Structure 1
Amino acid sequence: MKRIFLFFLFITVFQLSKAQVIVETIYSEKLQQERQLKILLPKGYSDTDKKDYPIIVVLDGDYLFELVTGNTDYYSYWEDIPKVIVVGINQADFRYDDMNYSEQNSLPIESGANFFEFIGMEVLPFVQSKFKTKAFKVAVGHGETANFINYYLLKEKPLFNAFICISPDFAPEMPNYLAESLAKIKSKIFYYLATSKNDVQHIKEVTNMFHDKLKIIDNKNVLYNFDEFEAPSHYTMPAHALPKALENIFLVFQPISKKEYTDNILKLEGSPVEYLVEKYQTINDLFGIKKQILVNDFKAIAAAIEKTKNFEYFEPLSKIAKKEYPDAMLGHYYLARFYEQTGEPKKAMRTYQSGYILEEIGGLTKDMMLDKADAIKADFGY
C-alpha cells in the first residue's frame, strides 16, 4: 500500500511540476557558450504578484530538477515550505569541465572558475530580472556538484543561505576549508549533509569525517543537519535526502505540529502568544516572507492556554487574531473566552453575540457563538 501511495504521489507531483516548467537558453559570456536552464514557477505565479519567492538553484539539473520540483510542489501544497522558484542548470555535456578544480589547492580553476562566476554573475541576475525572487537562496548538489556548491561558503558573504549537499565527492582540502569557514561565518546558514552506509566507500568515509568536524562547531549561525541512511546507493540518495533537507531547512515555516506543541509550547514558562509572534517573525527574518498566521497555529496556542489554564493570554491572542482575520469571528471568540474565564460573563455574552455577524472560521460557527451566549444568559439570568 505504501509503495502504491508513493507511486501515485510521484506521478501527481511530476505532472504538476511538468506543467509549469519554462526552458530558457542563455548565452554565457563567462563560459563563451549557450547554456540551458529549467525553471519552475510556483502554482498561481503572476508578474503582478506583490510577494516574492525564495529560489532553489539545482546543479545537475538534467536529473535532479524534476526530483526537486516534485518535492517542493508537494510540500508547499501542505504549507510545510513556502512556494519557491526552482532553477535547474543542465550540465550533462559540460559537467566534467564545470567541476574543474586545482590539484594543488582544491579550488576552482579555468572552466570551473568560469562556471562558479556563471552561477553568481549570470544565472541568478537573469532569473532575478525576469521573475519575482526573494533574497533567500538554496543550492542543491549531488556528488561532484555537492562539492562545488560549497565554494560559495568560502566567500565572506556567501551567495546562498542554504546548502543541500547530497553524497558529496569532496575535493581533497574542502572539508578543512569548510569547517574553518563555517566556524567563523557571521550570517545564518542552513547546511544539510547526507550520505549512506551503502554509498561509494571513499565518499562515505570523507563525509563522515567531515560530519565529525561540523558537529563540534560552536557557531549559532550554522543550522546544521546530517543524515546517514541505511540502504540507498550513491545514485538513489537524492530521492531519500531531498525531502529531509527541505523539512529541516524550512522547519520553522511549518504549521505547529503535535511534537512542537508538546515539547515546546506546553513547557513554556512565558507567554505562548509571544511564542507564536516570534515564530512568524523568525519566518520573516529568515526567508523574507510575511506569512499570515495559520488558523491551525491559533488553535494550537488556544489549546495550550486552555490546558495550562493561563486564561489571561486569551486577550492578546484575540488582538492578533482580529488583525490577521479581521472579517472572521476568531478574535471575538478568544476575547469572549478571556472575559468568560476572568469573571466578566456579561462582557463574554455580548462578545459572543457580536461575533455572530462575522465569518465562520476554523470550526467556529454562528450557531456555536449564539449557543455560548445563550448558555451564559441562562446561567446568570441576563
Structure 2
Amino acid sequence: MMKKLLMLVVLVFPIISSAQIIYETVSSAKLQETREIKIQLPRNYEENKEKHYPVVVVLDGDYLFEPVAGIVDYYSYWENIPEMIVVGVNQAGLRNEDAGYDNERFLPADKGAAFFEFLGMELLKSMDEKYRTAPFQIIVGHDLTANFLNYYLLKPEPIFEGYISLSPDLAPEMANRITNILSKTESKRWYYMATGSEDIPQLKESILSLNNQINGLDNDLVFYKFDNFDNASHYSLVGRAIPSAIESIFNVYSPISQKEYNEVLLQTSISPSEYLIEKYKSIEELFGLEKQIRLNDFLAIHQAIEKTRRWEEYDELSKLASEHFPGTMLGTYFEARYEEETGNPKRAMKTYQNAYGQEKIAFLDVDFMLEKANAIKRDFGY
C-alpha cells in the first residue's frame, strides 16, 4: 500500500542529502512540553546572505517531511519553484490530540487549541527570528492534520497563503466554512486538495462534495486545484499529490513552458516583452521574491518575436536584457535586431560591432556578432 510513497522517498533521498537538515527539540509554553522538529534549509543558504525564503510547514513531519522536503529541493534545483525552508513537526503518537476539536463548535479544543497556538505563535515566530524567511507560507497535512490546517484559513488574517490538504478527514461544518471563507477572501489564497480512487470511502465522499462546492465559487483571488488519482489509496496518493500541489502553487514561477510559448507568446494580441515583465512582477508580488529573469525565458521571448515578426518588441527586450545580464552580448544583440528589422541597417551593423569586448552568452559570441555585422556590410555596400 505504501509502495509508491516509499519509491518517492527513495528517489528524492539523494537530493535531500545535498540540502542542510537540522534536527531540533523545541520547548513550547503553549503545549507545556517539548516537540521535535526537522528543518531543511535551501542549498547554499549560508552563502546567500541577502536571500529570503518562503516557509513550508509540514504536519505529520514524522512521515511527510521527507517527501515534501525532497520534492521542494528537487524542483527548486531546476528552478521550477523558489528555494524554500521546510519545517516538519513530528506528531507520532500525538496527532489525534493535536488535531482534536470539540463536539459543539467543531473548533480546536484542549490540546488541539494549544497545538494551534504553538504553530502560529511559537514555531513560525521562531522561524522568522532564526532564519531569513519571506512573507509566503504554506502548510501541508494528511487526513486529520489536513482537516486541522483549515483552521488557519478561517482566521480573519490567515498566516498561511498556501494550503495542501491530502485526503482530509473533514470535521462537521468544515466544508461549508472553507467554501464561505474562500468565496469572501480579499487576499490571494492557494488551495490544493487530493483524494484517490481507492481512498477511504467516507473520506472520499466528503472530499468530492467539498470539491464541488469550491468549484462553484467565483473568486479570482482563489487558486484552486483538485486531484482524484486513479488506483491511489489513502496513503499512496500522497506521493503523487505533493509534486502536483507544489507545481500548482508555483505555476507562475516556473520557466516559460512550451504550452505558454504556443498558446500565449505566439498570439499576436500579446506583447511578448510585456508578458515577460508581468511574469516576473507577479513572482515578486505573490511570493515576496525578487528574481533575475532567466536566460531561457529571454530566449523564449526572442524566438516568439522572430516567429511573429513583431520587431518593435526587441526595443524593450534589449533594455531588459541589458539590465539583467549587463556586460554580455544579449542586450546588444536584441538592440541590433531591432535596428536591423526596423529600417536602420547601418545602425544595426555598428551595434553588432559593439559586441566586441562583451561577454559571450548563450549562442552569442564575437564571431557570430561580427558575421552579422559583415553580412549587413556586404548587402548594403558599407
What is the alpha-carbon distance in structure 1 between the residues aligned to residue 332 and residue 59 of structure 2?
50
Matches within 5 A, 1:41-190: 41-46=41-46, 49-190=49-190
Q: Name the SS for the 2:54 alignment partner.
A: strand
What is the alpha-carbon distance in structure 2 between the residues aligned to residue 69 and residue 209 of structure 1?
30
- 1:94-153 Cα shifts (integer Å, max 9, x gaps): 111101101122111111010000000010011111111111000001111100000001
Whichever residue aligns with residue 89 of structure 1, its letter is V
- 1:221-254 Cα shifts (integer Å, max 9, x gaps): 1111111111111011110000000110000000
Question: Post-superposition, which runs of at least 4 consecutive aligned residues in structure 1 deviate over 6 A?
Answer: none
Match of 2:16 in 1: 17
Match of 1:33 in 2: 33
Task: Report whether the alignment pairs 1:208 with 2:208.
Answer: yes
Whichever residue aligns with residue 78 of structure 1, its letter is W
Whichever residue aligns with residue 149 of structure 1, its letter is L
What is the alpha-carbon distance in structure 1 between the residues aligned to residue 335 and residue 148 of structure 2?
54
- TM-aligned CA deviation for residue 355 of structure 1: 1.2
- TM-aligned CA deviation for residue 28 of structure 1: 0.3
Q: Name the SS for the 1:232 alignment partner.
A: strand
Whichever residue aligns with residue 13 of structure 2, its letter is F
Match of 2:357 in 1: 357
- TM-aligned CA deviation for residue 171 of structure 1: 0.6
What is the alpha-carbon distance in structure 1 between the residues aligned to residue 162 and residue 278 of structure 2?
21
Whichever residue aligns with residue 367 of structure 2, its letter is D
Whichever residue aligns with residue 261 of structure 2, its letter is Y
Matches within 5 A, 1:243-282: 243-282=243-282
What is the alpha-carbon distance in structure 2 between the residues aligned to residue 350 and residue 17 of structure 1?
50
- 1:148-188 Cα shifts (integer Å, max 9, x gaps): 00000101111100000011111111001111111101110
Matches within 5 A, 1:316-327: 316-327=316-327
Match of 1:366 in 2: 366
Q: Name the SS for the 2:171 alignment partner.
A: coil
Contact 2:264 2:270 in 1 (8 A): no
Contact 1:152 1:159 in 2 (8 A): yes
Contact 2:15 2:74 in 1 (8 A): no
Contact 1:138 1:160 in 2 (8 A): yes
What is the alpha-carbon distance in structure 2 between the residues aligned to residue 268 and residue 225 of structure 1?
30
Structure 2 length as normaliser, TM-score?
0.96
For the aligned residue pairs, the C-alpha RMSD in angstroms reads 1.5
Whichever residue aligns with residue 247 of structure 1, its letter is E
What is the alpha-carbon distance in structure 2 between the residues aligned to residue 94 and residue 248 of structure 1?
31
- TM-aligned CA deviation for residue 15 of structure 1: 2.8
What is the alpha-carbon distance in structure 2 between the residues aligned to residue 38 and residue 18 of structure 1?
14
- 1:342-379 Cα shifts (integer Å, max 9, x gaps): 11111111111111311111221221111111111111
Contact 1:47 1:132 in 2 (8 A): no
- TM-aligned CA deviation for residue 10 of structure 1: 5.2
Match of 1:348 in 2: 348
Task: Report whether the alignment pairs 1:380 with 2:372.
Answer: no
Structure 1 length as normaliser, TM-score?
0.96
Whichever residue aligns with residue 13 of structure 1, its letter is V
74-83 vs 47-56, which moves further: 47-56
What is the alpha-carbon distance in structure 2 between the residues aligned to residue 341 and residue 373 of structure 1?
13
What is the alpha-carbon distance in structure 1 between the residues aligned to residue 292 and residue 17 of structure 2?
29
Contact 1:42 1:83 in 2 (8 A): yes
Q: Name the SS for the 1:197 alignment partner.
A: strand
Task: Report whether the alignment pairs 1:199 with 2:199.
Answer: yes
Contact 1:199 1:233 in 2 (8 A): yes
Q: Name the SS for the 2:354 alignment partner.
A: helix
What is the alpha-carbon distance in structure 2 between the residues aligned to residue 54 and residue 361 of structure 1?
31
Q: 1:48 to 1:376 in 2, by over 3 A?
A: closer
What is the alpha-carbon distance in structure 2 between the residues aligned to residue 356 and residue 147 of structure 1?
61
Whichever residue aligns with residue 74 of structure 1, its letter is Y
* Structure 1 gap ranges (5+): none
Whichever residue aligns with residue 313 of structure 1, its letter is E
The aligned length equals 377
- TM-aligned CA deviation for residue 198 of structure 1: 0.9
- TM-aligned CA deviation for residue 11 of structure 1: 4.3
Q: Name the SS for the 1:86 alignment partner.
A: strand
What is the alpha-carbon distance in structure 2 between the residues aligned to residue 22 and residue 152 of structure 1?
26
Contact 1:47 1:131 in 2 (8 A): no
- TM-aligned CA deviation for residue 49 of structure 1: 1.2
Match of 2:236 in 1: 236
Q: Name the SS for the 1:168 alignment partner.
A: coil
